[in-house]
Structure 1
Amino acid sequence: MDRRLFLKGTLASGASTLLPRLSLAKSSDGFFELEAGKSQAKLYGDQGPFSDLWLYNGQLPGPEIRAKQGERVRVRFTNRLDEPTSIHWHGIRIDNAMDGVAGLTQPAVKPGESFDYDFVAPDAGTYWYHAHNMSWNQVPRGLSGALIIEEANEPFPVENDLTLILNDWRLDEDGALDTDSFGARMDFSHAGRLGNWLTVNGTSLPDIPLQAGRWHRLRLINTSASRVLDIAPARFGAKLIGLDGQCFGEARDVEGTVQLSPAQRMDLVMRPETVGTIPFEMMTGQPFTFANFQVSASEPDDQPLTLPGVNRLPEPDLSKARTLPLVMAGGAMGGMRSLMKDGKELDMRQMMEAGLFWAFNGDAGMQDAPFFSAKRGESIILESRNDTTFAHAMHIHGHHFRVLERNGDTLEHQDWRDTFTTVPRETVRIAFVADNPGKWLTHCHMLGHAASGMMTWFGVS
């Protein structure tokens, strides 16, 4: 983080912003109306310049869409941009035709045209939506929003159920979004597009209102292009209840930090007892405050903590599972001298010219043939090995998986995820049931890494 820029902006903004509860009003025909278009907003405090952004419905972040578990979600999307785009509903196990991956599950929506997304949300939890055509360029300009699927009897009242979208922006010296550096090969071949400015729900250093003596649910969503956020829940009195939309059924006391990589979500519960200010921090070697919880007096609620229910996901049969390798290679200092693209070997010079720096199992980018094909209901174990010098956030579309092992050590909590983080030289084993028919993307959610090779797909018959 650029601490000088951060401190300068903090003094200039004096941000004291209540987090809005944004939602879409249903139209008469039962559709949510969502538009992508060019807009402007101030990222660098109230006194900073306007940044040129791409937003949904002109809002930063995009409108929060809320629906009930099992409810039909219908979104009429219109593209007001000058280039094609699409919307991916991240983490939701929906019909493949609605997954929103341009070029794989649907054609990209052309400028001026519309597309109707229509799906049933089977699992309650914290999810999000974002652009999925040239994502490296469209998402860090602002095209993302929260998708919250509530239980039929949501245990937290609306005023105590807070969605916090955390985003990492790259600003120039004037405090406006740096648009000249989009697509920089230095970013693609290194850690990705890292910013120098953090916002919560589009605001820098906001005040987040809480009530003393009452339980709150905090839904954290990392929509950054590449930045991994390390959160220490115990430092502000919170307990962990879920990851990537899947709740545990119990509240965990966490020692140390929990990684929140790009695309990942974290659900916390928190019951502050006294009035005052509690820093909301990111751990970057030392605590780094990027928001403040402002606790106000209220009538104490003596009701015990009631947790969300647990979604019923298909359990993989490890005794019958097929194990497949997923070897990550490339990037700066990675030592990769060649890779395969569409059946042809590219040397280092050709790789640079094509903007390809990363590979899965020696192949760069989307291939005509799938990474693997599975029969519906087959259990799959992926054994990923990170042979690079950088971390990666691996996302599998259309499915949730259990994280079983790291470097041969069986994990105490084999939690359900849709995105897992892997650090350099690490081997991670995950398992899932391939029960959702269609073509499903698998990619790194450091978006520049995906654009420059870390992207493949698998088929479920």
Structure 2
Amino acid sequence: MTPKRKKKRRLYVVVPLALLVLLIGAAMAVYFWQIRLQKPVEIDMSGHRHGMDATAAAAGAHYHAPAGQSVSCDSLVAGETSGPTRTFELTASRKTLKLDSGKTVEAWTFNGSSPGPELRVKEGDRVVVTLRNRDIADGVTLHWHGIKVPCSQDGVAGVTQDAVLPGEEFTYEFVAGEPGTYWYHSHQMSSVQAKKGLMGSLIVEPKAESGTIAADAEASAFYQRLDSSLLLNGSARGFNVPAKGGEEVRLRITNADNETMKFSVDGASFQVVAMDGHDLHEPGWLEGAIVAVGAGQRYDLLIRLPEAGKAVVRSPSADDPAITLGSGPEPERAEGGVPFSFLDYGTPLPEDPEREAKPDRRYELKLGQSLFVNTINGRSFHEIPPLTAKAGEKLLVAISNEGGGDHPFHIHGHTFRVLSKNGVPLRGSPVVLDTLLTHKGDVYEVLVNADNPGLWMMHCHNLGHASMGMSMMLNYEGLTTPYRVGTKSGNLPDL
């Protein structure tokens, strides 16, 4: 047989096999995307009781409400406070924005900008926010990320309210609790609407200076990605914080992107004074450390400027917008810094009964990931049985990242105490979070105090992962909701 005939014969074999592999791959891709895009018709997230969706109904049949009278989520409202009332209005609308980079983007905005206006209140204030929808066709909501609001005010379409459609409005009311750095975003089709720009910063200032970290100046750094552009407070260029040599600046960093961001502080020493709005106990001074902030997380840094020169806070990419503090010679860019770890940072509390608290219930959440589906314990979204609790209980939750990639896990309406990582107990300051950044192979144990009765979403705050299935519920026994998630109602919180 001639070489030419041998080559043709190989082609007769190889080409059909290659086509077969491509066809099988395409069929599998279509199958998984159909699963991914198959939205439930109607789900009652208070117990995964389903209507018009037999498959989902079978998945949710495990739930049994306790005996006795049930309580509706929308009956749980803000309590009394002696603080003043602060009122705000946010109007959601489409707008063409011209960035300071010269790029033009079609954005969804609050009050004509993205991010929307920073809402700044004091501890104990009654916060009243009226949301209006001008022209976002699928509806919008406001979720208060990290704030312990009553169940009815959590802003999750189909769980705590219906999405606010064009021409409609909804008024949120809650009492600002623990001081700290928080943020807000729409939780209707969250992976789409946050990416389009429906988000903003929320700062709760302490009502008294005593017991808080003193600083000479303060600034907020709100990072988001809008149409592939990384923006800092809406700018592609960054900003400058006026400060003098020797002064200390509190910098409130919010990562509203879907990916982990890493920061260096060049030219100055600094402390991590708060994480997710909660102060750390006796934080130490750091130099050259690299701080990783997961999607949805907030880190407050206290930066001590040198007597001569300035400091620069930036990410590894030279194209990302940076924060300059003070003036003077440019500091050298840090190379190969040591990653910041909260495992042994700061000091323990002199008395800490929660460290030895005994849980009432134990749960295990295994975060999985494939090319097309993201899972918790091998299931996706409404197929995942909810965690259940009674008011006053303590829940020990083991969270493991088995699928690879970064999964910043967020729990609505609650904070949690991080007890250990990979079997090693925390040795420094107590760490209280609402969003936990996990890397592949990480296993964390966290303690959740069931102190806010309601129906609460739990999900990866890479919102694309949440939309692909990594989203579930924490439900208090006896709690119900009149709202429904699904195509029938149009409420799709994690699309």
TM-score of the superposed pair, with normalisation by structure 2: 0.69
Deviations, residues 159-215 of structure 1 (Å, cap 9, x unaligned): 82211101234xxxxxxx3xxxxxxxxxxxxxxxxx4x4221011222312311322
Aligned to 1:328: 367
Relative distance call for 1:457 and 1:447 in structure 2 (3 A) is same
Q: CA deviation at 1:442?
A: 0.3
Relative distance call for 1:31 and 1:328 in structure 2 (3 A) is same
SS at match of 1:67: strand
Instruction: Compare the two structures and name the one with the higher strand fraction.
Output: 1
Aligned to 2:263: 231
1:17-416 equivalences in 2 (<5 Å): 31-43=87-99, 45=101, 48-80=102-134, 81-154=136-209, 160-169=217-226, 177=227, 195=228, 197-212=229-244, 213-224=246-257, 226-233=258-265, 236-254=268-286, 256-274=289-307, 276-283=309-316, 290-296=321-327, 315=354, 318-332=357-371, 357-367=373-383, 370-413=385-428, 414-416=430-432
SS at match of 2:144: strand
**Paired amino acid for 1:129:** Y
SS at match of 2:381: coil
Report if aligned partners of 2:392, 2:451 keep a CA contact under 8 Å in 1: yes
Aligned residue pairs, count: 367
Q: CA deviation at 1:275?
A: 5.2
**Paired amino acid for 2:365:** L
- For 2:410 and 2:267, the matched residues in 1 are separated by 29
Relative distance call for 1:211 and 1:44 in structure 2 (3 A) is closer
Deviations, residues 371-408 of structure 1 (Å, cap 9, x unaligned): 22111011111111212021101000111111112211
Report if aligned partners of 1:393, 1:420 keep a CA contact under 8 Å in 2: yes
Q: CA deviation at 1:250?
A: 2.8
Report if aligned partners of 1:99, 1:105 keep a CA contact under 8 Å in 2: yes
- For 1:430 and 1:157, the matched residues in 2 are separated by 30
- For 2:109 and 2:308, the matched residues in 1 are separated by 36
Report if aligned partners of 1:379, 1:431 keep a CA contact under 8 Å in 2: yes
Larger radius of gyration: 2
Q: CA deviation at 1:280?
A: 1.9
Deviations, residues 392-442 of structure 1 (Å, cap 9, x unaligned): 010001111111122112222440000001111221111111111010110
1:429-440 equivalences in 2 (<5 Å): 429-440=445-456
- For 1:400 and 1:56, the matched residues in 2 are separated by 27
Report if aligned partners of 1:281, 1:288 keep a CA contact under 8 Å in 2: no
Deviations, residues 45-84 of structure 1 (Å, cap 9, x unaligned): 1xx2321111110123210111111111000110112221
Report if aligned partners of 2:222, 2:254 keep a CA contact under 8 Å in 1: yes
- For 2:327 and 2:142, the matched residues in 1 are separated by 38
Q: CA deviation at 1:329?
A: 1.8
Deviations, residues 17-50 of structure 1 (Å, cap 9, x unaligned): xxxxxxxxxxxx96311111111223361xx232
Structure 2: unaligned runs, 5 residues or longer: 1-84, 329-348, 478-495
**Paired amino acid for 1:446:** N
- RMSD over aligned Cα atoms: 2.7
Report if aligned partners of 2:122, 2:179 keep a CA contact under 8 Å in 1: yes
SS at match of 1:51: strand
- For 1:74 and 1:296, the matched residues in 2 are separated by 39
Structure of higher RCO (CA pairs closer than 8 Å, 6+ residues apart):
2
Aligned to 2:333: none
SS at match of 1:138: helix
- For 2:396 and 2:86, the matched residues in 1 are separated by 40
**Paired amino acid for 1:282:** S
**Paired amino acid for 1:436:** N
Report if aligned partners of 1:316, 1:433 keep a CA contact under 8 Å in 2: no
Report if aligned partners of 1:357, 1:452 keep a CA contact under 8 Å in 2: yes
**Paired amino acid for 1:164:** A
